[in-house]
Structure 1
Amino acid sequence: MSHYFTNDNTEHDFGQIEFQRGNKTYRFITDRGVFSRERIDFGSKVLIDAVIEDWHGSENSVFIDMGAGYGPLGIIIGDALNMKPVMVEVNEDAIDICRKNADINGIRAEVLKRDVYDAESTYSDVDLYITNPPFRAGKPVVLSIIEDAADRLSAGGAFYMVVQKKQGMPSYKKAIDASFGNVESVANEKGYHVLKGVKNY
């Protein structure tokens, strides 16, 4: 069986889901092999609400959504904050439907494969970086995302990551503190913590 952080050639199994936030309905195409294809997962919901409530930066700027999947985080947060998401993925099928979902929801977005993103410095000095990381890909992958955020953010920029306590939250909290010199939990619902680090240098 393939995972959402890998690529394969098995047959597509497209579906559609809806997500209501406030008085707005978002629509998403999903497919086999992408994370949380039946509904937006609870951790992503907690992250969406936490970022929208906590972050107070400038509008009309770009932000990074690392491990975007089919795009719910970048699309919903981008819409709510009036910002352009740069959505980064390794799964080629997820990249295709992520682009379609941005169009469906009327969101101006950049969707990049991870190796293309890694090879250029265009998206540096951003104010906001979010992730619901692929924990099944292993701890080194998640730690590399934290390090990438510390590199890409501008001074005063904020990093948000959702993680369950059972997925190693205390360890990742220490890693964010090591990279940013600070860390706090800005939300905690049913064991899902949204950890925040602010780049102060």
Structure 2
Amino acid sequence: MSHYYTTDDTPHDFKEIKYNIKGKTYTFTTDRGVFSKDRVDFGTDVLLNAVLEDYDGPGYFIDMGAGYGPVSIVLADHYGGDGVAVEVNEDAISVLDTNMHNNNVSFDIVKRETYDDMELKADLYVTNPPFRAGKDTVLEIINDSYERLVDHGAFYMVVQKKQGMPSYLKHLETLYGNVEKLKKSKGYYILKSIKHVS
């Protein structure tokens, strides 16, 4: 059985979708085996709107679990900064590269294994985690965010209550020393933490 966080070996099924946010329309190519291939999912939409309303930018961003690229592309376009889109699914990486060029933005696209060997720091870390990969994977992403962010760097994630929001909220409070329920919409929560070194 294939999951959106693994590579699919069935025939390609490319599809073009539109996504509008803050008055701007983006066009994305999707494929079979990638997360939410028929439309930008509601959680990602809530996440992006929350970040654009809250984060001043610019700065270097990390988009963990980038999929076909809506978060990275909107962030790069809106803030004009640089960043890295991290993904494990090779099919998603392929269409992500296409989408980046078609939307006239630029950032690095790397597989997770490559990212793990990179020594980079970011001002902004955003994720719609692969919850189906398990809680340990999500906690690993949260822990990675703390290691990668610079002082005063901002972390944002989207999570539903049924996906374990209270436990992730507690983990963020313990790790960062602060956490905020920045936004809630139809059961989706946007959690935000700021890294304070000094």
Alignment TM-score, normalising by the size of structure 2:
0.97
Q: Does 1:40 align with 2:45?
A: no
RMSD, aligned CA:
1.0
Question: Is it true that 1:149 corresponds to 2:140 in the alignment?
Answer: no
1:64 maps to 62
| Kept in 2: contact 1:16–1:27 (CA 8 A) | yes
CA contact (8 A) 1:70 1:95 kept: yes
Matches of 2:106 and 2:158, distance apart in 1: 24
Given that 1:132 and 1:161 are in contact with CA atoms closer than 8 Å, whether structure 2 keeps it comes out as yes
Which consecutive unaligned segments of at least 5 residues does structure 1 have?
none
Q: CA deviation at 1:120?
A: 1.4
Displacement after TM superposition at 1:7 (Å): 1.7
Among 133, 136, 147, the alignment partner of 1:140 is 136
Q: Which secondary structure state, in structure 1, belongs to the residue aligned with residue 168 of structure 2?
A: helix
- Which AA in structure 2 matches 1:132? N
Residues 75 and 85 in structure 1, CA contact (< 8 A), matched pair in contact too: no
Counterpart contact for 2:68–2:93, Cα < 8 Å: yes
- Between the two proteins, what is the percent identity of the paired residues? 54
Give the alignment partner of residue 118 of structure 2, picking from 120, 125, 130. Answer: 120
Q: Deviations over 1:141-184 (max 9, x none)?
A: 00000000000000000000000111110011011112111100
Partner of 1:163: 159
**Which residue pairs with 1:17 in the alignment?**
17
Aligned residues: 197
| Aligned residue identity for 1:128 | L
Runs ≥4 in structure 1, deviation > 6 angstroms?
none
> Where do 5+ consecutive residues of structure 2 fail to align?
none
Question: Mean Cα displacement is larger for which, 4-13 or 25-34?
Answer: 4-13
Residue 190 (structure 2) aligned to one of 188, 194, 197: 194
Instruction: Say if 2:21 and 2:49, in contact at 8 Å, map to a contact too.
Output: no
How far off is 1:193 after superposition?
A: 0.5
Equivalent-residue separation in structure 2 for 1:107 and 1:3 (angstroms): 28
